[in-house]
Each structure stands twice: as C-alpha cells, then as structure tokens.
Amino acid sequence: MEGVSKRYGGVRALQGADLIVEAGRIHAVLGENGAGKSTLIKIMAGVVVPDEGRMLLDGRPVAFNSPSAANATGIVCIFQELSLIPDLSVADNIAISNPPQRFGLIDRKAQRRMAEEALARAGADDIHPMALVKDLSLSRRQMVEIAKALARRPRILILDEATSALTAVDVTKIYAVLKRLRAEGLALLYISHRMHEIAELADECTVFCNGRSVASFAAGTKTNNEVVELMIGREYTGIFPTKIARVAAVAVPLLDVRRLGWTDKLRDISARWSVSVGSTARASASCCWPCSACCAAPRDRCRSMAGRSPSAARAMPSRRPSAWR
C-alpha cells in the first residue's frame, strides 16, 4: 500500500498510510483505538474504497469494490466481530461462500470433507463439522471463523484481534497454526494490542498513530516503552502516577479563647480547639486550666470537656447553679 487515505465526512481516518507485507512473514500492526488500523484492513479486504493512494499485489495495481473481489485475489480477513450464522452447521458456515456442488445441488459429502480439512488446518479438528454453531462456545466459534478463512486458500491472511475470545489452550494452538502458515509461504497481517503476542509471532511491525503509519521496524528492535511512545505520540514516563508522600499530621488552631470573663460570674476562662491536618484529620478541643472558682461550669465538667469538639461539649448536660437558670 502506498499513500492510502480515507475520510469519513470531516474525519480523516487514514492519511498517507504505507504498508508492505511480504510472503512467509508475519507483519504486526500496532496502534491505539482510532489510529486507523480497522480502516486499513477494511480497505485491504474490499469493505471500503480508499479516497487516495494505491495497492499493489505482486507488483500490479489492484482495487477492490467488495470483499468477494478481495477474496478472489487471495486476500482474506478475519474480523474481530464474528460473521457466522448460528442456526447453520459448522460445515455450512465454512463453505458458505463457495459450497461444492453436484448436479446443481450442494454436495454434502464434499462439503463435510472440506470442513474437516479446514478445521484440521486451523488446529480445531475436535469440532464436529455437523454441529450447529449456536451450540458452540465463543472460543470454539472463533476457531470456526479461522477455519472458514483458511478454507478459502488465502495468499494474504489478515487477523484482527483473532485471539481476543480464545482460551489459553486455543491461543497456543493458533500460535502453532500461524507459524506453520508462515513456513508455508503465507503472508500474515496481525493486528493486536497484546505486546506478548507481538513478541511471540511478529517478524516486522508497523505502528499507526492518528491515521498515519509513523514507523516500521523489525520485531524485537524496540522496547515496549518505545513502541508505546510511537503509538501514543508522546513521551511515556510510566504506567502509574507518582505517589504523594504522606505528611505528618499538624494541629492547626481552630478556636482559641484566653482569659475570658463576664462580670463577676466568669473569670479566667481559657479554651483551645484545633484540627489535625495530614494523613488523618480529626478535630479536638482542650480546656486550659485553671478555671475560676466562680466558673459557671463545675470543675469536673471543664475537665470532661478537654479533648472534645465544640459540638460535643455543647451536647454535655449542664449543671449550672440555680441562680443562672
């Protein structure tokens, strides 16, 4: 692909994208959501038509206006969303685009053999070809989708998050299948967010950011942090934010009363309320002695007020002299 661009209204999904896929190699495409990966593979698979640029296959320009046109040239895509029909059998789904025929009717025996070969090639020979797709688990359906693509004998196989719904056992099988297909000379385009899968399978990598192909390099020549920086388009400093150091609690005065008096009823009343600021915040109050002998509150009540908040102190029962009432 050379200089491929695609716009949806005012949004440019791809801009001058370049990509080279070679036979017998696994080429990984990396990028954030919205980087243009899905638009890229849709153009290659004939789902959408590019606005600019060109595609070359064996050195000759090609253009596809439908997925069937792309399939006819050997380009097959396994999309993240499954395209199976639940009420049909596994064999029906695998051969649905081009079922074998005899006397104008579907040759069921040939179709079953075709499905068995495709399932074995995909490493899923434990799936019965006559089973209904709706009776299979999600991971088994994904394996049928891969077998369906392999039944079309592709030259370029595009896998969009092909392992997202697979179990660990199936992922191991798919790794072996993809490596075998690479050895057979098949060109594979692998789209994934999982860095360990890229490290396991890819020979080359291309990173997309904001609709542009920003870098192509041999797998293993850049660290994960360097790849992430290319994907996000800025410096990558770490996964987690810097932790804020805990600060020791400091008592901040909230209310301070010193030597308060009122006519001949109160003398030398002092009190201080403070709030603790830091790792734990707690309001506290203290009553400073001495209290006057004629303080309205008895001495034992003043002592009991120490360490309480103002609201708690007010809530305590009053034992004022009868002359004050």
Is 137 domain-assigned? yes
**Do residues 217 and 301 both lie within one domain?**
no
**Do residues 71 and 153 both lie within one domain?**
yes
Average pLDDT value over all residues in the chain: 81
Residue 182: how many CB atoms within 10 A of its CB? 18
Share of the chain above pLDDT 70, in %: 81
pLDDT of residue 142: 87
Is 6 domain-assigned? yes
Q: Is 109 helix (H, G, I), strand (E, B) or coil?
A: helix
Question: Are residues 158 and 78 in contact, defined by beta-carbon separation less than 8 angstroms?
Answer: yes
Is 243 domain-assigned? no
**Do residues 313 and 188 both lie within one domain?**
no
The token pair that represents 71 in the structure block: 């399939």
Is 242 domain-assigned? no
**Do residues 222 and 281 both lie within one domain?**
no
> For the segment 298-320, what is each residue's pLDDT rounded down to a tens digit?
444 444 444 454 444 444 444 44
Q: How far apart are CA 256 and CA 4, in angstroms?
A: 74
Q: Domain count for the chain, please give it.
A: 2
**Do residues 125 and 171 both lie within one domain?**
yes
**Do residues 299 and 219 both lie within one domain?**
no
DSSP conformation letters of 158-179: EEESTTTT--HHHHHHHHHHHH
Residue 303: how many CB atoms within 10 A of its CB? 13
Residue 283: how many CB atoms within 10 A of its CB? 14
**Do residues 185 and 312 both lie within one domain?**
no
The token pair that represents 149 in the structure block: 């693509």
Question: Are residues 93 and 75 in contact, defined by beta-carbon separation less than 8 angstroms?
Answer: no
Q: How far apart are CA 136 and CA 179, in angstroms?
A: 26
Is 245 domain-assigned? no
**Do residues 202 and 58 both lie within one domain?**
yes
> For the segment 249-302, what is each residue's pLDDT rounded down to a tens digit?
677 777 887 888 888 777 788 888 777 766 444 444 444 444 444 444 444 444
The token pair that represents 23 in the structure block: 């036979």
Question: Are residues 118 and 99 in contact, defined by beta-carbon separation less than 8 angstroms?
Answer: no
Q: How far apart are CA 24 and CA 157, in angstroms?
A: 11
Pairing between β-strand 101-102 and β-strand 75-78 as defined by DSSP bridges: unpaired
Question: Are residues 316 and 305 in contact, defined by beta-carbon separation less than 8 angstroms?
Answer: yes
Distance set, CA 211 to CA 32, 207, 231 (Å) = 10, 10, 11
Is 76 domain-assigned? yes
Beta strands (DSSP E) in the chain are 2-8, 11-17, 26-31, 52-57, 60-62, 75-78, 101-102, 105-106, 156-160, 187-191, 204-209, 212-218, 250-262, 266-277, 283-288
Last residue of a domain, one of 200, 232, 264: 232
Last residue of a domain, one of 170, 200, 232: 232
Last residue of a domain, one of 198, 232, 266: 232
**Which is nearest to 109 in space by CA: 134, 130, 83?**
130
CATH number at 135 reads: 3.40.50.300
pTM: 0.68
The token pair that represents 203 in the structure block: 């020979």
Q: How far apart are CA 285 and CA 174, in angstroms?
A: 69
* Angle 189-41-214 from CA coordinates, rounded to 5°: 75
**Do residues 180 and 320 both lie within one domain?**
no
For residue 213, the enclosing domain spans 2-232
Q: How far apart are CA 293 and CA 269, in angstroms?
A: 11
Distance set, CA 303 to CA 85, 94, 291, 313 (Å) = 81, 87, 10, 11
Is 300 domain-assigned? yes
> For the segment 156-213, what is each residue's pLDDT rounded down to a tens digit?
999 988 887 778 888 888 888 889 889 989 999 999 878 888 888 999 999 998 888 8
**Do residues 63 and 107 both lie within one domain?**
yes
Answer with the residue of higher pLDDT: 84 or 271: 84
**Do residues 135 and 267 both lie within one domain?**
no
Is 241 domain-assigned? no
**Do residues 16 and 72 both lie within one domain?**
yes
Pairing between β-strand 52-57 and β-strand 60-62 as defined by DSSP bridges: antiparallel
